[in-house]
Structure 1
Amino acid sequence: MVQIPMTEHAPLPSRFLFISDMDDTLLGDDAALSKLAAALMQNRGQIVIAYNSSRPCASLRETLAQNKDIPKPDYLIGALGTEIERFATGEALDAYSRNLKEGWQRDKVAALMEQLGFAAHADEFQTEFKASYHVPSAAQFQRVLQHIREAGLNAKIIFSGNKNLDIIPPGADKGKAVIFLQGTLGFRPEQVIVAGDSANDREMFVHTFKGIVVGNADEGLKSLSSPNIYHAKSSCAAGVLEGLRHWGVAHPKPLNRTHKNHRRFI
């Protein structure tokens, strides 16, 4: 079980931790992204930003370097919640990742998937704690699930987009990474806002965080029902901005910045 470090001070009530998926959530509509970026930067002193993607942190950094319209985050969560880094320094939060090693047998996972005949995704999408494959149907996903169980491998399997299968340690996923970062930074659950579009974002929405499901989301996310989840009508970044306004964060005018110098990061 991941241990959440304690902090000395809770954040100010007016501050928020905003955690968003990248592809097809932030990205996908350049004009809307510019508007979202402006709203976030207007209130930047009171919003801690993290991007949470199935892609490794290295891949996210490449995208951020290429697209200057994306607001620079404070943290990156990559490879389906198996990596957490400080954006400014690139330092990994080792207290999180070291808990993923126990019982994780990546070599055996890779050998089994090769035996089953499934093609691995490109090397850039493979990491120490994430093995990614092309699996063409839900029926084939069930086949993999059965073989993983029969082999006694300690792993979590995430199937998304009806073709992408990721195998990660059981102690990791996008939601667990959010919980760790929330606890590490001292935010209360109601101060956390998450946004996503696909099945691999689902674990962010099963907690008591404020959620934004963008309009172009998978049916699996659209079917979620909770007072804590806002279903945006707009897609991609426009849906994120719509959701932030619903939750009272991205105001047309800046929030009270009295305490903007009291941001406490690890």
Structure 2
Amino acid sequence: MYKLLISDLDESLLNDSGNISTNDLATIKLMQQQGVKFIPNTGRGFASVQPLLKQIGTFKQAGEYVISYNGGVIVENSDNHVLTSHYLPHQIVAQIYQLARSQSDLGVHIYTLNDVYVYNIDNYEQAYIDSRKVQTIEFNEPTLDSLTTSPIVKILVENLDHDRLVEFQKLILANIAIPLSQTFSSNRYLEFNPTGVDKGNAVLELCQKLAIEPADVITLGDNDNDLPMIKTAGMGVAVSNSINSIKKAAQLTLKATNNDNPITEIYQTLFN
């Protein structure tokens, strides 16, 4: 009996406009009535997920959760109580920021616990951010000295050319001494978390707190940063628009893309 449905948001649950479908919203509420918790597991911060929580009925609810920042933070929705947190060393974030600033075609997002600072964001990227209802703070300082007292959960660089991100990843590997968790997402981002921090380990952390076996968990994803949770769950599910590595790791690949009611197909396939 599955007890948790843990889902990536962008390009998985949410359609290309950044919204959940009416059918999937109804299906999530039906599953909740049958005792299955729905938990977002996203690279975004938990603040940007609050409108979705209102839709699915878990906003400010005790015993309901969000996994955010690629597993960097798990919160209980009641008062956004932080259950687990994993922060990057400030000097490492500063190094990545300086390397990104030396590349004029890269945008940067810096995630503290409660805010997102963005550097060198063009109009196309801003439109994507707006479609996801993410509030950001423009940041154009030459160093991160002003953020010294703010714990940083994640930093990412942005470019629509995947090969360009791979080039930057090589630059990071050549210049940053300590290991980092590095993943690609949304066909536009290269994300950096502390080593060992990923969506899969966060699923295991939450399962331990809830005394639920990973075998009783369904995860849904589409991209590189979702791979650890696809492998961790008893039932890893890929949307049709997933990259090949997700489809190969998943136990179930849907016919549905993120635009075609994926949660409803999961329910029809696994619960009927």
Partner of 2:98: 111
1:85 aligns with 2:75: yes
1:235 aligns with 2:257: yes
* Contact 2:6/2:39 (<8 A) preserved: yes
* Counterparts of 1:78 and 1:144, CA distance in 2: 24
| Equivalent position to 1:166, from 191, 211, 216 | 191
| Equivalent position to 1:213, from 238, 244, 251 | 238
* Counterparts of 1:54 and 1:208, CA distance in 2: 18
- TM-score of the two chains, using structure 1 as the length reference: 0.73
> How many residues are matched?
227
1:146-225 alignment to 2 at 5 Å? 146-151=170-175, 152-222=177-247, 224-225=248-249
1:18 aligns with 2:5: yes
* Counterparts of 1:155 and 1:81, CA distance in 2: 14
Q: Secondary structure at the match of 1:23?
A: coil
Q: What's the offset of the Cα at 1:130? A: 0.9
Give a deviation string over 1:210-239, Cα, whole Å, max 9, x none. Answer: 1221223234423x155xx11111223622
Q: What's the offset of the Cα at 1:162? A: 3.7
Q: What's the offset of the Cα at 1:201? A: 1.3
Partner of 1:130: 154
Q: Secondary structure at the match of 2:80?
A: coil
Q: Does the C-alpha gap of structure 1 residues 179 and 34 become closer, same or farther in structure 2, counting only changes over 3 Å? A: same
1:139 aligns with 2:163: yes
Q: Secondary structure at the match of 2:201?
A: helix
Partner of 1:245: 268
* Contact 1:19/1:49 (<8 A) preserved: yes
- TM-score of the two chains, using structure 2 as the length reference: 0.72
Partner of 1:28: 15
Give a deviation string over 1:37-72, Cα, whole Å, max 9, x none. Answer: 33332342511221011111111114445xx3x443
Unaligned runs of 5+ in 1: 1-13, 252-266
Q: What's the offset of the Cα at 1:108? A: 2.3
* Contact 1:37/1:71 (<8 A) preserved: no
* Contact 1:155/1:168 (<8 A) preserved: yes
* Counterparts of 1:192 and 1:165, CA distance in 2: 27
Q: What's the offset of the Cα at 1:133? A: 1.5
* Counterparts of 1:143 and 1:40, CA distance in 2: 40
Q: What's the offset of the Cα at 1:247? A: 2.3
Unaligned runs of 5+ in 2: 110-115, 118-134, 138-150
* Counterparts of 1:101 and 1:215, CA distance in 2: 33
* Counterparts of 1:32 and 1:147, CA distance in 2: 37
Q: Greater CA deviation, 167-176 or 36-45?
A: 36-45
* Contact 2:31/2:37 (<8 A) preserved: no
RCO comparison, higher one (Cα < 8 Å, 6+)? 1
Q: Does the C-alpha gap of structure 1 residues 149 and 198 become closer, same or farther in structure 2, counting only changes over 3 Å? A: closer
Code of the aligned partner of 2:262: G
Aligned-CA RMSD value: 2.9
* Counterparts of 2:190 and 2:48, CA distance in 1: 18
Q: What's the offset of the Cα at 1:102? A: 6.8
* Contact 1:56/1:125 (<8 A) preserved: no
Q: Secondary structure at the match of 1:203?
A: helix
Q: Does the C-alpha gap of structure 1 residues 191 and 104 become closer, same or farther in structure 2, counting only changes over 3 Å? A: farther
Q: What's the offset of the Cα at 1:208? A: 4.4
* Contact 1:17/1:182 (<8 A) preserved: no
